[in-house]
Every structure is written in structure tokens, then in C-alpha cells.
Amino acid sequence: MFAAFDLYGIGHTGALICLAAISILMILRCRKGADSGHAKSVLSLLTFCCFAAYPINQAAWEYTGGAITLDAVIPLHLCDIAAFLCGFALITRNPFLCELSYFWGLAGTLQGLLTPNLPYDFPHPVFFAFFLQHGVVVITALLLPLGLGWRPRHGAWLKAFGWLLGYAAVAFLTNLTLGTNFGFLMHKPSEASLLDMMPAWPFYILLMICIAGHLRARVRHPVCHLLQICF
């Protein structure tokens, strides 16, 4: 038997510390020269993990032996899409993909790491799969500006926010059709999260949109100058 997830317990805190350490090491390695053999190996590994995160997550849920819901099978959660975007962004360095990876990663997926919607604690496979999938997105969002020198274009945060609204529209229609809860647009997560501090449905959705727009505006200058000073 595996224990239920403990928010900011030993497993959660340890995972956050490990991801922070990995982020720092990867950033420092790439800052020494993105074209070096070691940096290319780091980027290749991160890219592989971005694409492998979804199938690994599926395998982890299969391990539980319980009923698999459409929410778990269809890769339409924002973090599912973000992981794929990050993989393609690392390969192509396409400005648009980098911008979506950066803004969605820091203003969206990071919240998932801080307040996970997760039923199992360490060392359940679902626990590892969750932090792998969310971790690679946040690591990529930090690595792009701090390790690879990428910068968002003027007004990029508005475009990223517009695409977020487009995602929300597609997710909402999918939820209505399939009875799913992508984007947590139909109800709040079953586990503790920041949404618990918000009003009931549908008002928390409007508040989420306002907060997301505000956060994207705040991070429009790469993790801004404070993190750059640290590195």
C-alpha cells in the first residue's frame, strides 16, 4: 500500500528540492557553452524527457490497476500540451514555441508543482511520473532564458495569454462533450490546491483567467532580472 499524497511532506519537499537542483545544474552547464558536448547531452536528455513524460505517465496510471478515466488518457491537460511544446521548443528554438513554453511553464505548470493534484505519495510510480512531467516543463521554461539566452519578443505575453484562452475554449467544449475536467474548468481538483482559496464554480474560472493574465505580464522579462543576478 502506498500513502496518500502529503502536501509539503517529505516526498513533496524532496521532489521540489531535486528539481531545483537539476534546474541549476542544467542552467550552469548550458551557460558554459550551449554548443559543447556536455550541454548538447543535457538538452537531448531534457528533450527526450519532454516527449517521454506523457507515455510514462500513462504507464504509471496503468500500474495502479484501477479504472482509467478519459482525463488521464487524453493528453489535453495544459501540462500535457506544455510538455510537448517544450520538447519542440528545445529542438527548433522556434520563438513562438519558446514563448508558450516559458509563459505557460512559469505561470501555469509551476502552480501544479507547488500544489499537486496527486493521489499518491513517494515512492508510487504516479508520483514520479507527475513530477517528471511537470518538472521538465518548468526546467525548460527556466533554461531557455537563463541557460540558452533566449528572450521573448515584445507583446509575447499577450499572445501566450490569447492562446491560453483558446485552449480553455477547446477544453471546455471537450469537457461538455466527454464529461471530463480538463483545465479544471468544470470543478476544482479533488486534492488541495490554490483553487480551494477561490470562490465556487464558475467564479473561480474568471479569477483564474485574471490571475493568469497578471502572472504572464509579470514574467514577460525572463524570470526576470532577479534570477539573472543569481546566475
Residue 35 CA to residue 93 CA, distance in Å, equals 14
Please state whether 62 falls in left (phi above 0), alpha (psi between -120 and 50) or beta: alpha
Supply the Cα-derived Rg of the chain in whole angstroms.
17
Per-residue pLDDT of the chain (231 residues; tens, 9 = 90+): 688 899 899 999 999 999 999 999 999 999 887 777 788 899 999 999 999 999 999 999 888 876 678 888 899 999 999 999 999 999 999 999 999 999 999 988 998 899 898 889 999 999 999 999 999 999 999 999 999 999 999 889 889 989 999 999 999 999 999 999 998 899 888 776 777 777 787 777 787 777 766 665 565 555 544 444 444
CB 159 within 8 A of CB 93: no
Global pTM reads 0.89
What are the sequence ranges of the domains in the chain? 10-230
Residue 41 CA to residue 34 CA, distance in Å, equals 10
Q: Facing residues of 120 across strands?
A: 4
47: how many CB neighbours lie within 10 A of its CB?
Answer: 18
